[in-house]
């Protein structure tokens, strides 16, 4: 069983030397346990925060242990009556090829149906990132039909699901993404009404101008994935009583400062700004997954994936995700 451990903590930007690849034997199963062979590992921005040992909403990843991570795979051995060999499952197996899971611990493993939805989608559109988009849109932004909503990192796992969910509610949906290829994909394939290239609008003034053009009626809801000057520009274009779902600030994850120039606009515009962590809202997951599964099965939500091959490729692919090298959901294929 190949595994990737967190070997040491980043000083500033993370590097491949923070990780270590090892090979171990999988232990023999005890009663109640299941052996899962992972088909895909999910790479997600939150993992960068876990590599630090500073205080955060989630505990930091201990050194010398397998990196945390979502996985989908297949049961290859079972000593639990609810799981049979061949069952497809989603869980938190970590950066390794196999995991031994206690089938009795609630929430550790969930069986999934791959008849209409591909297995990998349970790590993206019909998984944690999809539910994240759903929570921010439905519970925080709560848009009315005809309102304008904006999302940054629009071509990614969360952003693409946000677009499909917001379109289904009759919103004008505007994305922000890095580069012309991603922007073309966001409008032509994901069906957004407009997309702004943040690489071509790399400062507050030009981003504010681009948002004015793309959002002629102002901004009613913003789903924040990036932070920094993009948030400032949104505040300048926000309507009275606009809502901001603060989901992520990836531009700052690798140690960069994220100053905010105009926080007074939150007051002036009487805005609601609410941060959230999707794993603290398990009560919405069934409803959200039902809607996302329906959109995926009907072909309305089939976002792009970037797939690295083999566990050894995971560190490089993860560092790429923090720099926008991924295009859509970043996965590692293990089988
Ligand atoms: P993505 O698939 O969107 O990949 C990350 C993308 O972020 C990159 O492709 C890149 O897109 C963009 N990005 C990276 N650095 C920068 C930068 N400096 N400036 C602008 N854009 C940048 O990731 P996810 O969809 O998985 O996650 C999106 C966000 O949601 C993250 O902030 C993540 O932390 C957050 N999140 C929060 C959760 C919660 O519970 N609160 C749960 C899940 C995710 P581009 O090339 O377009 O710039």
**10: buried, middle or exposed (CB in 10 Å: 19+, 13-18, 0-12)?**
middle
Instruction: Name all domains of the chain by residue range, CATH numbers in brackets.
Output: 2-124+304-333 (3.90.180.10), 128-279 (3.40.50.720)
Nearest to 212 by CA among 192, 190, 235: 235
Q: What is the number of H-type helices and E-type strands within the chain?
A: 9, 15
From atom 45 of ligand 1, which residue's Cα is the shortest distance away?
A: 178
156 lines ligand 1 (CB under 6 A): yes
Q: Could you say which DSSP state residue 34 is in? A: E
Output phi, psi for 221, to 5 deg.
Answer: -145, 140
Are 138 and 162 spatial neighbours (Cβ–Cβ below 8 Å)? no
Q: What's the rounded Cα separation, in Å, for the pair 119 and 133?
A: 20
Choosing from 58, 225, 244 the residue with most ligand 1 atoms within 8 A of its CB, the one to mutate for a pocket test is 225
Instruction: Find where tokens 């009795």 sit.
Output: 104
- Cα of 231 to ligand 1 centre, how many Å? 14
Q: Which residues of 13-43 are buried (b: 16+ CB within 10 A; e: fewer)?
A: ebeeebbbeeeeeeeeeeebbbbbbbbbbbb
Structure tokens at 121: 């989608």
**pLDDT tens series, the chain, 335 aa:** 999 999 999 999 999 999 999 999 999 999 999 999 999 999 999 999 999 998 777 789 999 999 999 999 999 999 999 999 999 999 999 999 999 999 999 889 999 999 999 999 999 999 999 999 999 999 999 999 999 999 999 999 999 999 999 999 999 999 999 999 999 999 999 999 999 999 999 999 999 999 999 999 999 999 999 999 999 999 999 999 999 999 999 999 998 999 899 999 999 999 999 999 999 999 999 999 999 999 999 999 989 999 999 999 999 999 999 999 999 999 999 99
Interatomic CA distance for residues 120 and 133, integer angstroms = 18
CB of 126 within 6 A of ligand 1: the answer is: no
Q: What is d(CA 96, CA 126) in angstroms, rounded to the nearest whole number?
A: 22
Q: Tell me if the pTM is above 0.95.
A: yes
> Residue of the nearest CA to atom 13 in ligand 1?
324
- Is the complex ipTM higher than 0.85? yes
Unique residue bearing structure tokens 């609810």: 82
104 C-alpha to center of ligand 1: Å? 33
Alpha-carbon Rg for the chain in angstroms: 20
């Amino acid at each position: 069983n190949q595994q990737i451990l967190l070997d040491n903590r980043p000083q500033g930007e993370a590097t491949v030397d923070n990780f270590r690849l090892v090979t171990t034997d999988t232990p023999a199963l005890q009663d109640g346990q299941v052996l899962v062979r992972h088909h895909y590992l999910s790479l997600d921005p939150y993992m960068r925060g876990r590599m630090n040992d500073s205080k955060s909403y989630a505990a930091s990843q201990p050194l010398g242990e397998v990196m945390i991570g979502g996985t989908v795979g297949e049961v290859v051995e079972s000593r639990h009556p609810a799981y049979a060999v061949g069952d497809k499952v989603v869980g938190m197996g970590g950066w390794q090829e196999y995991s031994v899971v206690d089938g009795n611990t609630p929430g550790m493993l969930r069986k999934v149906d791959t008849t209409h939805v591909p297995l990998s989608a349970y790590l993206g559109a019909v998984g944690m990132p999809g539910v994240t988009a759903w929570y921010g849109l439905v519970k925080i932004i709560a848009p009315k039909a005809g309102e304008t909503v904006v999302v940054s990192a629009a071509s990614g796992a969360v952003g693409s699901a946000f677009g499909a969910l917001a379109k289904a509610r009759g919103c004008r949906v505007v994305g922000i993404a890095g580069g012309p290829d991603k922007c073309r994909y966001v409008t032509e394939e994901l069906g957004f009404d407009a997309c702004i290239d943040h690489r071509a609008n790399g400062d507050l003034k030009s981003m504010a101008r681009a948002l004015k053009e793309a959002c002629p009626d102002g901004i009613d809801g913003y789903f924040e994935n990036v932070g920094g000057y993009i948030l400032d520009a949104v505040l300048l274009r926000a309507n009275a009583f606009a809502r901001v779902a603060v989901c992520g600030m990836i531009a700052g994850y690798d140690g960069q400062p994220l100053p905010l120039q105009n926080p007074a606009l939150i007051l002036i515009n009487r805005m609601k700004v609410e941060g959230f962590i999707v794993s603290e809202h398990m009560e919405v997951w069934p409803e959200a997954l039902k809607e996302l599964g329906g959109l995926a099965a009907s072909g309305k939500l089939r976002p792009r994936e970037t797939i690295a091959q083999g566990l050894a490729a995971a560190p490089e692919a993860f560092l790429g995700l923090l720099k926008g090298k991924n295009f859509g959901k970043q996965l590692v294929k293990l089988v």
